[in-house]
């Protein structure tokens, strides 16, 4: 995808990079490049040398981490919504909303909608492979 910039009568096409467009942070750039590399790779097989039990425990832990992240994200997003009084603010409503957000986050993590769990899993496998 390219972004066309016009300067007078000439139009110059520049590659569109969302990371450099929004921020020039090296962490964001590194994450963007890692995500692009993961998207291009077709190697979704597990690394050799790991037994199945350890592998499944690591995958489950990464899925739970993704669920926790999504739960916090939903909680913070909900905090930005102005309350108009249609739904009463009390402990029961807050508890129900919290349980709903946690369940929604679990479902999103199970269906791998964001890919964060897979990203954590691959990074941890790579880190483990580098340990002598």
- Domain segments of the chain: what residues? 1-42, 44-132
pLDDT tens for 101-126 read 999 999 999 998 889 999 999 999 88
Tell which residue, 82, 84, 78, has the closest CA to residue 104. 78
Tell which residue, 59, 34, 35, 52, has the closest CA to residue 125. 59
Proportion of the chain above pLDDT 70, given as a percent = 62
**The predicted structure's pLDDT at residue 48:** 54
Q: In Å, what is the CA distance from 129 to each residue of 26, 36, 37, 123? A: 25, 22, 18, 10
Give the global pTM. 0.56
Residue 66 CA from chain centroid, whole number: 7
Q: Do 22 and 31 meet the contact criterion of CB atoms below 8 Å apart?
A: no
Q: Which residues contact 31 (CB under 8 A, 6 or more apart)?
A: 19
């Amino acid at each position: 995808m390219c972004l066309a910039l016009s300067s007078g009568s000439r139009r110059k096409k520049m590659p569109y990079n969302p990371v450099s467009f929004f921020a020039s942070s090296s962490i964001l750039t590194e994450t963007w490049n890692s995500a692009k590399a993961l998207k291009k790779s077709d190697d979704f097989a597990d690394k050799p040398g790991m037994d199945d039990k350890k592998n499944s425990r690591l995958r489950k832990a990464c899925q739970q981490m993704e669920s926790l992240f999504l739960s916090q994200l939903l909680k913070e997003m909900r905090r930005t919504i102005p309350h108009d009084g249609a739904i009463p603010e009390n402990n029961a409503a807050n508890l129900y909303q919290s349980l709903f957000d946690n369940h929604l986050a679990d479902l999103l993590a199970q269906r791998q909608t964001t890919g964060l769990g897979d990203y954590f899993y691959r990074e941890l496998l790579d880190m483990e492979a580098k340990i002598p």
